[in-house]
Amino acid sequence: MAKFGDLAGGSVVEPEHARYGNPIMTADATGEEAAGRRPTGIPDKPGLEGLEATWSARWQADGTYAFDRSSPREGVYSIDTPPPTVSGELHIGHVFSYTHTDAVARFHRMRGKAVFYPMGWDDNGLPTERRVQNYYGVRCDPGLPYDPDFEPPADPPKEPVAISRPNFVELCLQLTIQDEKVFEQLWRTLGLSVDWAHTYATVGDVAQRASQRSFLRMLDRGHVYQRTAPTLWDIDFRTAVSQAELEDRERPGAYHRIAFPRADGPGPAVEIETTRPELLAACVALVAHPDDERYRPLFDTFVRTPLYGARVPVLAHELADPEKGSGIAMVCTFGDTTDVVWWRELHLPTRTLIGRDGRLLPVAWGTEGWESSDPVEAATHYDEVVGKTVRQAQTRVVEQLAESGAMIGEPLPITHPVKFYEKGERPLEIVSSRQWFVRTLPLRDKLLQRGEELNWFPPYMAHRFRTWVEGLNDDWNISRQRFFGVPFPVWYPVGPDGDADFAAPIPASEDQLPLDPSTEVPPGFTAEQRGVPGGFVGDPDVMDTWATSSLTPQIAGRWEDDPDLFARVFPMDLRPQAHDIIRTWLFSTVVRSEIEEGSLPWRNAAISGWVLDPNRKKMSKSKGNVVTPLPLLEQHGADAVRYWAANGRPGTDTAVDEGQMKVGRRLAIKVLNASRFALGRLADDAGQIDVPGPEAITAPLDKAMVAGLAGVVAEATTAFKGYDYARAIERTEAFFWSFCDDYLELVKTRAYGDPAQPGPASARAALALALSVQLRLFAPFLPFVTEEVWSWWRSGSVHRAAWPGQSELNEPATGADPAVLEVTAEVLGAVRRAKTTAKQSMRAPVAVLTVTDTRQRIDALQEATEDLKDAGGVAELVTVIGPESTIDVALAAPD
């Protein structure tokens, strides 16, 4: 199998030296071909069926898309391919955006670049965990020892089997390999020009080593730190969640107005409004705005919480909004992130009420931190809600408040945004926990600058990055309390009391990587010392999935495992991705590259839109409107599906449209048939194709066509350079249809003439040139059908042929008058219209065709008189120079 270097003898010929973009793979070129002759392999009845299987196998065997790693960096075009989540559904959205990237990759490859186009698999994190749990019927219990003989149950049992973390990870790896094969097959069918020798994954040794190495370096340089602090917490997944994984959802709630009696003097009770009365026991203060005249006299006095009798201060803080509720808020530890700010900035005590499972924790009223004016009554009230979920607790607390008279009026229903983990089902709580953080806040200005330096396609996507960075309010929490993922490569000493000292982590050394601290032992310790006083304990957490996938340039480029390769591909040229993960994947990759390399990870970011269902609704599993790509590929063919995708402009959401796929299929078939037709003009009686060189293009009509084609090439090239593949295919396609409708019709008779004569020679040379150029223009979009046609008359792969350049078109287009083709096509159109109106066949003969027009246009028409008469079946053409522009078609009398 071809890997690197096999093609070294066949680097892409520069357009300047290409005649019709001669292919580069000359290994099978014959002497005959060198002389411009080649036996044709044109089938009688060409079709699209089977092209995917034939050509994807051939490309693999020939190493058509192999990366030439001998190329210096300036000769490389490198792509930071998004790794699809293999545990997820195969999704038409994948096909959409990967087609865009593939078209761009093919363009740069044809432009002579060594294209580094790897494929990655994202098999890290929670989605994989969940899939493994359901697929095998297991659950991870990190306390269990590894069982080397464990086999998953044949059928997933109702009650999940508890297995050790290493066993669980083994199953994750096993299942992801299966999933990866399904994806690879899809990509091959779609015709992605990926170099399959360069795959990577976000789990496995390479990724883990890169991720852990980067972590150790960040630790060494002070870019990461641990903090025990209030953290956004998903009570179902039982893990911390970072700011980037949050989303707001509108949820119904209610304002409850609650009266707090004064604790240290006379005066009316202070009324607050809260949506979370169940947190009353965790109340540590009331807060109002410092300028709020209503509450100013109360500052630094005390009130008592209803039900529990806790004495809490009334304090001033600017975040308190006089407009909201009663203008004074209850601070609980913790109801929302504002509470955390108040708690931190006003140095309030902590009353932890919510456990990691989202239930109310037991409280010893009357003890330190839980002081009460009446501990017995407090306990009586609290005993009714302890152990309940927040929802259940809220119901009971509201009843208690009403019974006690502290509730003022009825709850006022509202709808308000509540923070959720984007994959979660219940609102996030805030619990105190120990987490690892990357210091991103100090990098903010630098990151904003990097965002400016990056070329965004479309440009307005830069706003999303900037808004996100400007809105950062905390460092990046990279630890997750899960099992499958990259473990933190650190241990902690265990003190004589048996408690781990998290403040003194023992880092692994880089040469130990990758490692799992739950099974491996830190330097200077023995396995027997794990978990015992005076010994050590491994960090129990794993890294956030983005903490690893933010290193895809390093992982795919093999970073320090292969510094030579890394130097040739980094910083990469392109990051293609969807807009929904700008704040996660794009942002975190920029952060890591800034920390590791002090540079942007890539120069360009091409942001694709989403695929919507045929009714323009966002696809989601829960709605059941997810469209899977394989049936569409089978029904319409890969080129047709790619055609639909390529017409989705960068950054624009696009609906699944089978109509567009049918159009794409028709286009692919047209390419087959038109090519067959044109090549039929080029083959001699022996089936040999003998094409005159472009210097034979002398007829004004042919020159006009070539000039038009040159314009299309220029436009498509410019568009591709700006990542506007959609414009490139649109212009190419428009030209191709008029080429078929008008030009082919006009020259088909002349091209059959004596090849030794200038007219036929010109037509034949122009046909060959136009066909070659158009096949190459279509190649990034329709890789299968263009390769099929290319194989009929050229050697090598069209995908390794040179992108058409001005040089091969400028000369034959010299002195061209575009009007010759324009006017002639217009007149031909009028002839067709006349025949249609008369309900005649297109072959119906025309007795006299009279064209009246300006001298200039008549002169242009005169240059193609014979072609026009042949194409229109015109017996006599009369031209009149006059002020008006008329075309009169006199059909011959029917027999």
Phi, psi values for residue 114, rounded to 5°? -80, 110
Nearer to RNA, 182 or 842 (CB): 842
What number of CA atoms fall less than 13 Å from residue 632's CA on the CB side? Answer: 27
Q: Tokens 């460092």 correspond to what residue? A: 475
CB of 652 to RNA, least distance (A): 5
End-to-end Cα separation, the chain, in angstroms: 66
Q: What is the dihedral of CA 53, 59, 61, 65, to 10 degrees?
A: -150
Q: How far apart are CA 629 and CA 454, in angstroms?
A: 32
What number of CA atoms fall less than 13 Å from residue 679's CA on the CB side? Answer: 27
Instruction: Specify the pairing of strand 302-304 against strand 283-288.
Output: unpaired
CB of 241 to RNA, least distance (A): 11
Nearer to RNA, 132 or 285 (CB): 285
CB of 458 to RNA, least distance (A): 8
CB of 207 to RNA, least distance (A): 26
DSSP letter at 802?
P
Nearer to RNA, 555 or 674 (CB): 674
Nearer to RNA, 195 or 336 (CB): 336
Contact 379, 387 (CB under 8 A): no
Nearer to RNA, 90 or 469 (CB): 469
CB of 799 to RNA, least distance (A): 23
Strand, helix or coil at 254?
A: strand
Nearer to RNA, 452 or 811 (CB): 452
Strand, helix or coil at 432?
A: strand
Q: How far apart are CA 669 and CA 691, in angstroms?
A: 24
Nearer to RNA, 511 or 895 (CB): 895
Enumerate residues 6+ apart whose C-beta is below 8 A from 296. 288, 290, 316
CB of 123 to RNA, least distance (A): 25
- The 3-state secondary structure of 255-318, one letter per residue: EEEEEECECCCCCCCEEEEECCHHHHHHEEEEEECCCCCCCHHHCCCEEECCCCCCEEEEEECC
What number of CA atoms fall less than 13 Å from residue 542's CA on the CB side? Answer: 21
* 418 beta partners: 249
CB of 707 to RNA, least distance (A): 16
CB of 685 to RNA, least distance (A): 16
Nearer to RNA, 568 or 764 (CB): 764
CB of 275 to RNA, least distance (A): 4
Nearer to RNA, 603 or 670 (CB): 670
DSSP letter at 324?
S
- Strands (E) across 317-454 are located at 328-332, 407-421, 429-438
494: left (phi over 0), alpha (psi -120 to 50) or beta: beta
Nearer to RNA, 386 or 830 (CB): 830
Longest dimension (CA), the chain: 118
Instruction: Specify the pairing of strand 479-480 against strand 476-477.
Output: unpaired
CB of 259 to RNA, least distance (A): 13
Nearer to RNA, 248 or 811 (CB): 248
Q: Which of 849, 822, 538 lies closest to 703, judged by CA?
A: 822
Nearer to RNA, 583 or 592 (CB): 583
Contact 365, 372 (CB under 8 A): yes
CB of 838 to RNA, least distance (A): 8
CB of 752 to RNA, least distance (A): 9
Q: Which of 35, 99, 104, 19 lies closest to 804, judged by CA?
A: 19
Nearer to RNA, 188 or 583 (CB): 583
User: Exposed, middle or buried, 794 (CB in 10 Å: 0-12/13-18/19+)?
Assistant: buried
CB of 221 to RNA, least distance (A): 27
* 417 beta partners: 250
Contact 350, 281 (CB under 8 A): no
